[in-house]
Chain A
Amino acid sequence: MYHTSYSPQETRQLAREILRRLGTKHIILLQGELGSGKTVLAQALAEELGVKDTVNSPTYVLMKVYPLNDKRFKRFVHVDLYRIDYDQRLDDLGLSDYLQDEESLVVVEWPERIIGSWPYDSFWVRFYFGDKSDIRVIDF
């Protein structure tokens, strides 16, 4: 379903909707170009789940883990594969423990850097640029 967002604030508001529609899934994949709103949404997801720390970009270290006091999730795992070369095997990234752990909410930016190997029950969110500067179309 397509959602049109006219500002970063509106993108943030989609976090709650995503968490509601997540069902039993625990891996959220955010796909979109630079500046399309992925980190904004990841930060909003973290905030919804009660992360108090600053959730800044994990590009450099690939992954940041935040403990959660949530009924369902024990940790928020923010992954950013921007610096990863295309065509990597998922097993080589040290992510497997989190991907198998249903108490970890794993949010991945640049998931397309891995080809065809994400768990089938991942929740995809796709970001597109609208026809005006601040507009984004977000599909999930």
Chain B
Amino acid sequence: MKRILGIETSCDETAAAVIGVESGQVQVFSNVVSSQMEIHARYGGVVPEVAARQHIKNIIPVIDQALSKAQLSLGEIDLVAATLGPGLIGSLMVGWETAKTLAWAQNLPLVPVNHLVGHLWSWLLPGEGEKKDIEVPFPYLSLIVSGGHTELVLVNSFFDWQILGRTVDDAAGEAFDKVAKLLGLGYPGGPALSKLAQSGKTDEFSLPRPMLNSGDFNFSFSGLKTAVLYLYQKLESNLTSEKLADLAASFEAAVVDTLSAKMEQAIDKYQVKMISVVGGVSANQRLRRQLSDLAKIKNVSLEMPQLRYTGDNAAMIALAGYFDRENYQNKQKLLSLSPDPNLPIK
């Protein structure tokens, strides 16, 4: 069995995980995430310097906890995988430099992982104590949606994928957070907005579905944000809590419709057998429901990560590192590699 230690510190979470891969099956021995959300909420936003300092404070205890939960010592690890980018530079630095040090001290192979590629494989991860077959019907379509990303990807193999489209302005999760802020739900308020939307009517306000007929697979959510702003300003004086919920629901439906419609166009064009949605926004219930309806209509299978793997985590980084291990043999070169806050997905 290959035992892989994953390390992830690209933004607000300090995360470490140990997974095992044996005869085509993956299992998660431990998956530890220490979130800084509460700290940042106290400051009213992300503070890069505070984030980096928190990572420094957390990283060793988090790795220790991941190892002890897995009941393994560092000496029993076969491979270290860590996020190289994209993300906040100070945060990335802590995880990557720690990984380098561990790999050097323990003489272990080291694999740099693109954070987005980690998300790409997150649906393959089983719950703790379970095993899952690594079976992927390539090519398949993956929608990566989070606070920082909205990418539609055609995945051809474990090493080859093609970005079909991406957001030309705000990411889907960012639009959720910013609209939540406009509606007075705090920041980051994406989850609060989705909760409010559950009690609202989606057809009460007519909002645009941006770029549906743009002829490509790109997304745009900035105009939608502005449209909500106009509605909000118009209503402000007589905005009941009921109308606020309707506005949240109408906005959520517009985002989900747009994501789902582009996925549908891509299914038709690329004739895949499987689709998947990953990243923080893939926890959104309306998006899950709508894509599963779409999958049924189109007769394709839909794979989604368990909720614990929708947000940033290190188990997905470990798995991506395992897939990519043959591509990083020159350790000397790796040790001089620095994190890249704008690392492209390829």
A residues lining the B interface (CB < 8 Å): 34-35, 39-40, 43, 54, 56-57, 59-65, 82-86, 88, 92-94, 113, 133
Contacts and interface: CB of A to CB of B under 8 A. Distances in A.
24 contacts: A34-B182, A40-B222, A43-B169, A54-B166, A56-B167, A57-B222, A59-B171, A60-B147, A60-B149, A60-B171, A62-B46, A62-B88, A63-B341, A64-B342, A65-B342, A83-B187, A84-B45, A85-B47, A88-B47, A92-B48, A92-B49, A94-B90, A113-B45, A133-B230
Contacts of A61: 86-88, 148, 341-342
B169 A57 contact: yes
The residue among A56, A64, A88 with the most chain B CB atoms within 10 A of its own CB is A56
B170 interface: yes
Contacts of A40: 222
A61 B147 CA distance: 10
B22 to A, nearest CB: 36
A86 B341 CA distance: 23
A-B pairs with lowest CB-CB distance, top 10: A60-B148, A35-B226, A92-B49, A85-B45, A83-B46, A85-B43, A35-B229, A57-B170, A83-B45, A133-B230
B189 to A, nearest CB: 13
Contacts of B55: none
Interface string B144-159: 0001110000000000
B207 interface: no
Given A34-B181, A60-B147, A133-B230, A94 B48 contact: yes
B258 to A, nearest CB: 15
B125 interface: no
A10 B209 CA distance: 22
A82 B171 CA distance: 14
Contacts of B187: 83
Contact of A34 (B44, B90, B225): B225
A91 to B, nearest CB: 9
B263 interface: no
Nearest to A91: B49
Given A56-B169, A60-B174, A84 B87 contact: no
B168 interface: yes
A94 to B, nearest CB: 6
Interface in B84-106: 86-90
B48 A93 contact: yes
Given A60-B147, A83-B46, A88-B47, A35 B225 contact: yes
Nearest to A84: B45
Interface in B185-201: 187
Contacts of B342: 61, 64-65
Contacts of A34: 178, 181-182, 225, 229
Interface string B275-314: 0000000000000000000000000000000000000000
A60 B148 CA distance: 5
Interface in B241-278: none
A110 to B, nearest CB: 10
B187 to A, nearest CB: 8
Nearest to A92: B49
B11 interface: yes
A137 B167 CA distance: 26
Contacts of A86: 44-45
A113 B187 CA distance: 15
Interface string B44-70: 111111000000000000000000000
Contacts of B86: 61
A56 B47 contact: no
Interface string B189-222: 0000000000000000000000000000010001
A5 to B, nearest CB: 13
B43 to A, nearest CB: 4
B167 A62 contact: no
B48 A59 contact: no
A54 B178 CA distance: 21
Given A39-B222, A61-B148, A88-B47, A56 B341 contact: no
The residue among B48, B49, B170, B182 with the most chain A CB atoms within 10 A of its own CB is B48
Contacts of B181: 34
B12 to A, nearest CB: 10
B46 A84 contact: yes
